A and B are shown apart, each in its own frame.
Chain A
Amino acid sequence: MIAALKNSAHRAWLVLMVATGITWYLGEVGAAGTWAIVAMLAIAFVKGRLVILDFMELREAPRMWRVLLEGWLIVVASLILLAYWISLK
């Protein structure tokens, strides 16, 4: 078990499963509004980053590709946040 967690992909899988459970739970308790939105986007960002770095193996890749994919995640999360912020006004 401990040995398996030395593999970053196995660690990432575990975090991704737990994080999905948290997002599901926030939906179950009807979390809404600014903090719920920020929390869910933050969770999605952490999850997306794990997929990019540990599943796609871009952690050790040329910097440009890492920046492009992580940048995509940041731009998408920011646009969603902006749209939700507008809707809350």
Chain B
Amino acid sequence: MQAMSTITLPAPDPVDKRLPGDLAIWFFILAELLAFAVFFSAYAFARASHVEEFNLYQQTLDRNLGALNTLLLITGSWFIVRAVQAAHRDDIKAVPPNILLGWLCGGGFLVVKVIEYSAKFGAGISMSTNTFYMFYISLTFFHFMHVILGMVILTVLWFQARNGAYGGHNAHGLESGAAYWHMVDLLWIVLFPLVYVMR
């Protein structure tokens, strides 16, 4: 009888159809993605009427630093995946170090970006120099702010994880923060080829 009841009481939504984290964070992510979709399209269509200018000034960007930053964000995302996986298998001790490593990758991204910006600003380049630089600075800086917000979230997650908040019993908050951090990565994966390489 008891065996029967466990069989006949499946959750309406099967376990394998689960959205990680809070529903709210996914709506927030969607809003952010829509904003960036507008910016990316604006860049691409502005380029269509300034092709020579965009092709010329794109060559002044440091592609090596842009690629390095891609590797940093991807690896940072991967460490956060490892933190979530550690929580799911109830390896509570492995969660904080992986969050810290992900945070450090974000920190590395910011350092590289500051080096890149100081070279550009040092050369007297600003938003008003031309259309290309206006897009380059505003797009990358808007993304830069998202990396900072992501790192603030990771800092909160790290403190919580050190108190043993995330494990097999509950990884909800960790999953929500992780989803946001992956979005920051996803945006750069489009931004890097678009602004630094495609011509």
Contacts and interface: CB of A to CB of B under 8 A. Distances in A.
A80 B18 contact: no
A7 B85 CA distance: 10
B199 interface: yes
Contact of A40 (B13, B44, B70, B197): B197
B77 A40 contact: no
Interface residues of A, number: 49
Given A13-B78, A80-B44, A83-B44, A40 B189 contact: no
Interface string A17-42: 10011011011100010001100110
Majority-rule SS of A interface residues: helix
A26 B197 contact: yes
Interface in A1-16: 7, 9-10, 12-13, 16
A62 B20 contact: no
Contacts of B63: 24, 27-28
Contacts, number: 132
Contacts of B17: 60-63
Interface of B: 13, 16-20, 26, 30, 33-34, 36-37, 40-41, 44-45, 47-48, 51, 55, 63-64, 67, 70-71, 74-75, 77-78, 80-82, 84-85, 175, 178-179, 182-183, 185-186, 189-190, 192-194, 196-199
27 contacts: A9-B82, A10-B78, A13-B75, A13-B78, A16-B189, A23-B67, A23-B70, A40-B198, A41-B198, A48-B189, A51-B182, A51-B186, A51-B189, A52-B186, A56-B186, A60-B18, A62-B13, A65-B19, A72-B30, A72-B33, A77-B190, A80-B44, A83-B41, A83-B44, A83-B48, A84-B44, A86-B45
Given A23-B70, A48-B189, 7 more contacts: A24-B197, A27-B196, A32-B199, A51-B182, A52-B186, A60-B16, A76-B40
